[in-house]
Chain A
């Protein structure tokens, strides 16, 4: 073995030949390692792909063909000379098979894409409409087999010939990256195994990198195989340690980490080169360096994906009578394709309003709660404890609720005293129909009831600018300001007065403001006459219904509407060109149009809970119902202002409303007569031709005839993400792999130990002091050896057989003399009791061993394996 080295000039001349030798000759494990890498890499990559989409296919033929392909390619690739080129045969066979059955393949591809689409978009809708007669499993299986054969052929072939990390990485990482990008759940142990093989291939390649040392192949390969194995073991240990660390410190489930990840993710996703300063500022916000201005960028996401992970835990003392909205964010201003909260300066400009908020707690948020108490009585409330699971800054607020400990800073949200968990008293009546249908009444509040001499009271009336010289103060409201609950009497009166005299004007000034732009002017101009006519009639509810109808006619609900081009207005692009969107699109467009039509409206985000999902909650020992809210319950809706009552949600997104909608007053004509739930009808599809089935709606009514939204997430989506999603499954996967490896090692060890035992036993028999027994044993060994080269005594006389064996062995290039001699010795010992001498025996044994080695050398690897480990001849 020789290699090159740097040769210095002048004082010394180093011979260019360097020899490297090792003391112990160790068999290189390179070939077994490459086979292992090929099998593990291919199978784990396939498993990752399969686990991503979970297609409906026949597993046995797929895995069988995959394994066979890998083994075949491995075997063909190690053939000598140019025969290794046969290793490309399975690849060509795969391509030919795919071409031959291309129609079936195309069908399979469409079906496969349908599976992918439903998983990626959490929908049961099929992207490609397939005829019913298509055998789905057969087509998908055929597609996957063809792909598997091609993929395995390429990976195994190139690994066996020359392991190249970059190529292997690209081939195996691509599906993983794709899955990650699409948010698909994957088999975690399989991915980790792929990572382990990456480092194995990398170590192997780096150890074999010195191409100039071709002749050092034996030592180099011995070391490189060792390096590959060591790298695999070390990376495997790292993977195991990573799983244990993540499990121990809950890195994948910790709410703080999740929150930070989500924040950073959002900021990174919103990075824009044209506004790099702003993007970096947002990133700084995510990193906690700057504060978040609470902006919602619109049209940045091409699609909406859910992980189906629980984000909030709700504990109800009693469940509401219908579905429920939990508001987290209120977008008050629409500008430059973004929604932002109400600017502080607007509130600051309304000093009286701010004082009413700060000092007199006349918050619009609590007005509906007071109203509900007035409408339904003080026993109509329940408590709700909210515990955010992923973010401690997730401040959720139900409608018609009140939290006495919370700080209400403005007319949108609140800040709880303890962010980890906070509770509300809320009205169990969350339907608002009766409220909406209740007309505004005039209520007269006697001024004498107030102590105007009190400076605080005087200040209050001063702030609301009420004429206290009159005996009565007239306010308009949906319900009486006098409520039964004595705790809230004063607060309710103050709130109603503040709403009537101050806040209502503020609402109409602020929340009917629409941005002026050419793009939006185009939108306004495109509004149909019937919609404008409805708006002119002055019935807000009818107007909003018309808006909803217009939006439904104008667009199609989809979770993958694509991004809004940077140069286009979000609403304009949605309504006039793309005609595709999800809740965010509908809520934003509805808000803008409602404001244009003179209805105070705001955009809201949060969660929407169906009555069914709440009914599925678990009851704890205190009788409270615990409901976990997944991310898929996230939603956006529009909020409109009801004079004399406050803000109420109005649903604009197809699929979330119908005849049975939660929205105020909508069920007035149908709900009272319906008593049983309608089977899951894809209302969105029937009414708007939408393709989603994430939410299905049905009608239920309570005893009062109030309708409620039933929203139910598709359970299969949740279960799909569970595959390999938790660390427990990772551990169990690892244990399974370890168990399989252990089993394989055990089987291999069994072969080795059995061979060693048989060899030792044979050696002892050859060294038997009774040389007759020893030579007979040797004879039996020789006969088994000769059977390998198809030489058997049969019925032939032994002397004749000895002669024939000698002749045939000589013809085959072996030394046949020794074999003949052994047969004769055995014959003499057996028949004539003539014991051979120890020297003769020793010589004969040495000959037999040499012959065995030479025969083995001339055998094919498989036959050699059989000789070594099955027949134990060498």
Chain B
């Protein structure tokens, strides 16, 4: 922008000089020079108008979700269908983090050749989890002598969901209690069991299979012998509760830490095939939502759904609704991840989860002199992994 102002000033001076020339020098050239200098801005303006109507801009992302801290490629594509190129264009793109409510403009400078499609690709890493929107504010291009800057107010948008990065834990997560519960009506999707009330799958007969498991009806209709495998009723041994009841008062960093801890735990449980339930309070309906996680894609989907709701308003109904959740009472280990200060809520929490092994991970800088209550762990951005290792190595989980 500054450059066009300078060029305008210089051009104006040049115009004055030409006007002076046309008076001082009576040759036809001086008049022609003045005329040319008067006509050139008009032609430059017309060229800008022409270019404007031959530019199409779009924003693209290579994927819709990605993990925090990993760079994500973003493409700004400019299609110039005209025969006039642009020497210098500047695009301003606003990046809006819904979680931290921060808006940062990014400016890119690039040339646009004629009759071509120019792709400007750059990589961005988000610091915070949650929904991120990018919106082009404007694209400005200048004429060939930088007299006029033409600002195109086109606003292509793209959305990006930033998931927690997750830490890969280098130690096994053990959960006390039995793996199965015959009275459970939740069955494993990963392995067969002996509960005849539910068929896990039908497969071809293999030597060693019990005769009673042969699916006679099906085998009669086909030339192959099929056997039935029964399901494995699983005990929900672990649950992760994400509490964001403090709403927007929590800092984005604290929210990131809590989500990071929850994601790390979930990912570790899924990797070890430990049945896991993830609980959170739906921001829109105010109802408790729970999802069973078996695979990494389940994990991503669940967190995606959760993160789209953030940041949410303050809602204190979570503990109340958790207390009414019977399945949760039979869970062996509950990890309560929150960015909020839960010290005042400890009594209520202990009341709800008195029969369970409750571990509260709260995003807070640990004060060395502060004595933390039992089962409450202070975590910060860099200490998730160490905290979890500490918990497990100290045997607190199994005790």
Contact partners of B44 in chain A: CB under 8 A: 234
How far, in Å, is B235 (CB) from chain A's closest CB? 42
Given the complex, which residues of B lie within 8 Å of A251, measured CB to CB? Answer: 31, 35
Asked whether A19 lies within 8 Å of B27 as measured between CB atoms, the reply is no
Given A185-B27, A238-B39, A258-B26, verify A180-B21 contact (CB < 8 Å): yes
3 residue pairs, one from A and one from B, having the closest CB atoms: A207-B87, A226-B85, A223-B111
A10 contacts B144, CB within 8 Å? no
Contact A220 B111 (CB under 8 A): yes
CA distance in complex: A191, B28 (Å): 11
A interface residues (Cβ-Cβ under 8 A, vs B): 3, 5-6, 8, 10-15, 17-24, 26, 180-181, 183, 185-186, 188, 191-192, 195, 199, 202-203, 206-210, 213, 216, 219-220, 222-224, 226-228, 230-231, 234-235, 237-239, 241-243, 245-246, 251-252, 257-258, 261-262, 264-265, 268-269, 307, 725-727, 730
Specify the chain A residue showing the minimal Cβ separation from B104: A8
Interface residues of B in 21-49 (CB under 8 A from A): 21-33, 35-36, 39-40, 43-44, 47
What's the Cα separation between A231 and B40 when bound, in Å? 9
Given A206-B146, A224-B111, is A268 in contact with B40 using a C-beta cutoff of 8 Å?
no
Nearest residue (CB) in A for B32 is: A242
**Which residues does chain A contribute within 8 Å of B190, judged by CB atoms?**
none
Query: Is there a chain A Cβ closer than 8 Å to B113's Cβ?
Result: yes
Residue of B nearest to A182 (CB): B25
- The listed residue (B25, B118, B127) touching A13 by CB distance below 8 A is B127
Question: Is A234 within 8 A of B40, CB to CB?
Answer: yes
Stretch of B94-102, B201-209, B344-352 that contacts chain A: B94-102
Contact present for A12 and B97 (CB under 8 Å): yes
Give the contacting residue for A180; candidates B30, B85, B102, B144; CB below 8 A: B30
A146 to B314: give the CA distance in the assembly, Å. Answer: 86
19 A-B contact pairs sorted by A residue (CB < 8 Å): A5-B107, A6-B106, A11-B100, A14-B125, A15-B123, A21-B118, A22-B113, A180-B21, A202-B145, A210-B109, A213-B109, A220-B111, A227-B86, A227-B87, A231-B144, A234-B44, A235-B43, A242-B35, A268-B23
Check if B29 sits within 8 Å of A234, measured CB to CB. Answer: no
Among B86-134, those with CB < 8 Å from A are 86-88, 95, 97, 100, 102, 104-128
Chain B positions within 8 Å of A725 at CB level: 27-28
- Shortest distance from the beta carbon of B157 to any chain A beta carbon, whole Å: 16
B327 adjacent to chain A (CB < 8 Å): no
Question: Are B40 and A246 touching (Cβ within 8 A)?
Answer: no
Chain A residues, Cβ within 8 Å of B32: 188, 192, 239, 242-243, 246, 252, 730
CB distance from B399 to the nearest CB of A (A): 41
B23 touches A265 (CB 8 A): yes
Known: A23-B117, A242-B36, A251-B31. 10 other contacts (CB 8 A): A6-B107, A8-B95, A181-B25, A207-B144, A210-B88, A219-B113, A223-B114, A235-B40, A238-B39, A252-B31
**Residues in A whose Cβ lies below 8 Å from that of B116:** 22-24, 26
Chain B positions 297 through 309: 1 when the CB is less than 8 Å from some CB of chain A, otherwise 0: 0000000000000
CB distance from B14 to the nearest CB of A (A): 10
Q: Contacts A192-B32, A206-B146 given; indicate if A180 touches B117 (C-beta within 8 A).
A: no
- Which B-chain residue is minimally distant from A4 (CB atoms)? B109
Within 8 Å by CB of B124, from A14, A191, A246, A261, lies: A14
The answer to whether A219 and B39 have CB atoms under 8 Å apart is: no
Decide: A223 and B112 in contact? CB cutoff 8 A: yes
Q: Does the CB pair B26–A262 fall under 8 Å?
A: yes
Complex-state Cα separation, A133 to B363, whole angstroms: 103
Kindly state the separation between the CA atoms of A269 and B27 in the bound complex, as whole angstroms.
16
- In the bound assembly, the distance between CA atoms of A223 and B21 in angstroms comes to 34
For B95, give its contact among A12, A210, A219, A230 (CB under 8 Å). A12
- Interface membership of B20, Cβ < 8 A: yes
- Cβ B117 vs Cβ A261 within 8 A: no
Q: Are B128 and A199 in contact (CB under 8 A)?
A: no
Across the interface, B84 reaches (CB within 8 A) one of A210, A226, A258, A269, namely: A226
Q: Do residues A234 and B144 form an inter-chain contact, with CB atoms below 8 A?
A: yes
Q: Which residues of B contact A246 (CB under 8 A)?
A: 28, 31-32, 35
**Distance between A467 CB and nearest chain B CB, rounded to angstroms:** 58
**Interface contact A223-B85, CB-CB below 8 Å:** yes
A17, B47: Cα distance in complex, Å: 31
Which residue of A19, A207, A237 contacts B88 across the interface (Cβ within 8 Å)? A207
Find the B residue at minimum CB distance from A222. B113
Whether B106 lies near A17 (C-beta < 8 A) is: no
Q: A237 contacts B25, CB within 8 Å?
A: no
- A199 in contact with B145 (CB, 8 Å): yes
Q: Is B71 interfacial (CB-CB < 8 Å)? A: yes
Is there an interface contact between A239 and B36, defined as CB atoms closer than 8 Å?
yes
CB distance B29 to A223 under 8 Å?
A: no
Q: When chains A and B are docked, how far (Å) is the Cα of A216 from the Cα of B104?
A: 25
Most chain A CB within a 10 A radius of its CB, from B21, B43, B105: B43
Contact partners of A231 in chain B: CB under 8 A? 144-145
Which of B26, B117, B122, B144 meets A227, CB within 8 Å? B144
Shortest Cβ distance from B57 into chain A, in angstroms?
14
User: Is A230 a contact of B85 with CB atoms below 8 Å?
Assistant: yes
Identify which of B28, B86, B102, B119 gathers the most chain A CB atoms within 10 Å of its CB.
Answer: B28
Beta-carbon contact of A252 and B36 below 8 Å: no
Find chain B residues with CB under 8 A from A727 CB: 28
> Which residues from A are CB-within-8-Å of B20?
268
Q: Residues 236-278 of chain B: 1 if any A CB is under 8 Å from the residue's CB, otherwise 0?
A: 0000000000000000100000000000000000000000000
Instruction: Determine how close the nearest CB of chain B comes to the CB of A795; give it in whole angstroms.
Output: 52
Contact assessment for B128 and A14 in the assembled complex, using a CB-CB cutoff below 8 Å: no
Is the CB–CB distance between A12 and B125 below 8 Å?
yes
Instruction: Across the interface, name the chain A residue whose C-beta is closest to B46.
Output: A234
Of A12, A203, A216, which contacts B127 at CB under 8 A?
A: A12
Say whether A188 contacts B104, CB under 8 Å. Answer: no
Q: Tell me the complex Cα distance, A188–B27, Å.
A: 10
Q: Which residues of A contact B109 (CB under 8 A)?
A: 3, 5, 210, 213
> Complex formed: what's the CA distance from A230 to B44 in Å?
10
Q: Determine the chain B residues whose CB is within 8 A of the CB of A210 once the complex forms.
A: 88, 109
The one of A222, A237, A252 that contacts B43, using a Cβ cutoff of 8 Å:
A237
Among the listed A202, A224, A261, which residue makes an inter-chain contact with B23, where contact means beta carbons less than 8 Å apart?
A261
Contact A307 B29 (CB under 8 A): no
Bound CA–CA A265/B21 (angstroms): 9
A-chain residues with CB within 8 Å of residue B29 when the two chains form the complex: 180, 186, 188, 191
- Per the bound structure, the CA–CA distance linking A781 and B109 in Å amounts to 47
The answer to whether A219 touches B27, judged by C-beta atoms less than 8 angstroms apart, is no
Is the pair A206, B127 in contact by a Cβ cutoff of 8 Å?
no
Chain B positions within 8 Å of A234 at CB level = 40, 43-44, 47, 144
Residue of B nearest to A176 (CB): B29
Q: Are B118 and A219 in contact (CB under 8 A)?
A: yes
Q: Which residues of A contact B85 (CB under 8 A)?
A: 222-223, 226-227, 230
Bound-state CA distance A262–B31 (Å) is 13
Q: Which residues from A are CB-within-8-Å of B123?
A: 14-15, 17
CB distance from B71 to the nearest CB of A (A): 6
How far is B109's CA from A231's CA once the two chains are assembled, in angstroms? 21
For the complex, what is the distance from the CA of A13 to the CA of B70, rounded to whole Å? 10
Q: Which residue of A lies closest to B146 (CB)?
A: A206
Residue ID in chain B nearest A260 by CB atoms: B23
A243 to chain B minimum Cβ distance, whole angstroms, is: 6
Q: State the Cβ distance, A218 to closest chain B Cβ, in Å.
A: 10
| Closest chain B CB from A552 CB (angstroms) | 32
The answer for the CA separation of A241 and B128 in the assembled complex, in Å, is 58
A717 to chain B, nearest CB (A): 15
Which residues of B119-169 are within 8 A (CB) of A? 119-128, 144-146
Return the contact of A17 from the options B108, B118, B122 (Cβ within 8 A): B122
Counting chain B CB atoms within 10 Å of each CB, the highest count among A180, A223, A307, A730 belongs to A223
A8 near B125 (CB under 8 angstroms)? no
Note all chain A residues with C-beta closer than 8 A to B115.
24, 26
Residue from the set A23, A185, A227 with the largest chain B CB neighbour count within 10 Å:
A227
**Contacts known (A5-B106, A241-B39, A245-B35); A183 close to B121, Cβ less than 8 A:** no
Q: Contact: A180 with B27, CB < 8 Å?
A: yes
| Closest A residue by C-beta to B84 | A230
Tell whether A5 pairs with B108 under 8 Å between CB atoms, given A17-B122, A24-B116, A226-B113. yes
